[in-house]
Amino acid sequence: MFTQATFPATEANAALGPRFQVGPLIRAGGQGAVYRATRTSTSDGTVVADDCAIKYYFDSAQDRRVDREIRALEGFRHANLANVLEHGCFDLHGETVRFVVWDYIDGEPLDTRLRSGAVSGKIVACVGRDAARAIDHIWSKRIVHRDVAPKNIMLRRGDAEAVLIDLGLARHLLESPLTAPGFTWGTYGYLSPEQCRAEPNLTCHSDVFSLGVSLQEALVGRHPTRGDQQALVSRPPKTSELIRSAPAALAETIDRMLSLRAPFRPLPSQLVACFAELAAEL
């Protein structure tokens, strides 16, 4: 199995063939690496000029999760989700390398942006509006993202639009679970209370909680509990206590998203309308 350090990127790029002109590395981690690229034709020979991102997967143990992510996204396109263009695999040094080609998103992850400090209330409202649109859309397919966090929210250049990425941990309620009973997936510090309890039948309300944490962090400029997951699900801090200058309606909406009981959180569709109004006002 390849690792980030041993992955022969130049050979992998060549193995894709002349349809792809692969550019610089965008991001790398334990499961794979993402490169910017241009696709000049589709697999059936149709001429295109797609600005795209290619992800190579190192960890073959995650193949079933990758399959589910692809299946979850192949059936629909949405402006606030990273859309799949094509996928496949090839042999390299006796190993099978999987790849997925996505629409390229011109911007940066929210976690990268937050290294420079908090963002404005208007940007927070735009992120909330667009991420809620994405959550609402995947929930219409009964899919729960399970890993809504700043690292998985792309802020498009210009700051007016956001895109939810990485459905690798998504849970489709109509399919059998891949996670063993008693275990959970997601990013520590952003898990909903029901995720922490490893409840098997999560709903969109879980993603709403995680989005609320992400928005609170964006508004304040740091994680609301400094990454302490137990503190987060015991008594989520009030937004107005963390930043007194926060617009009252925005702070109230985020606080409702952080309700400890899932049914008391707003539905994604309600959040879309609320954040759209706030984005227009701020």
Whether 25 and 56 have beta carbons less than 8 Å apart is answered as no
Q: What is the crossing angle of helices 268-281 and 121-139, to 10°?
A: 160
Can you state the percent helix, strand and coil of the chain, rounding each to 5? 40, 20, 40
Task: Supply the pLDDT for residue 70.
Answer: 76
CATH top-level class of 107-281: mainly alpha
Residues of the chain with CATH 3.30.200.20: 9-103
Q: pLDDT at position 178, please?
A: 46
When mean pLDDT is compared across 53-62, 104-113, 268-277, the lowest value belongs to 53-62
Q: Does domain 9-103 have CATH number 3.30.200.20?
A: yes
User: Quick check: 279 and 125 in contact, CB under 8 A?
Assistant: yes
For 35, counting Cβ atoms within 10 Å of its Cβ (0-12 exposed, 13-18 middle, 19+ buried), the class is buried
Indicate the pTM of the whole model. Answer: 0.87
Give the model's pLDDT for residue 184: 64
CA count, 13 A, side-chain hemisphere, 168: 14
**How far is residue 52's CA from residue 253's CA, in Å, rounded to a whole number?**
35
Give the number of other Cβ atoms within 10 Å of residue 13's Cβ: 17
Q: Does residue 25 have a pLDDT over 50?
A: yes
Q: What are the tens digits of pLDDT across the range 208-239?
A: 999 999 999 999 999 999 999 999 999 999 99
Q: What is the location of CATH 1.10.510.10 in the chain?
A: 107-281
Token pair, residue 205, equals 């309300």
pLDDT computed for residue 22 by the predictor: 94
Kindly give, in sequence order, each residue whose CB lies less than 8 Å from that of residue 162, ignoring residues fewer than 6 positions away.
80, 110, 126, 127, 129, 130, 131, 153, 154, 155, 156
| Run of H or E residues at 116 | none
Residue 207 has pLDDT above 80, yes or no: yes
What pLDDT was estimated at residue 200? 81
- Alpha carbons 229 and 195: distance in angstroms, whole number: 11
Give residue-wise pLDDT tens across range 140-192: 988 899 999 999 999 999 999 999 988 766 665 555 454 444 456 789 999 99
- Site of tokens 């409202």: 125
How, if at all, do strands 47-57 and 20-28 pair? unpaired
Distance from C-alpha of 255 to C-alpha of 221, rounded to nearest angstrom:
16
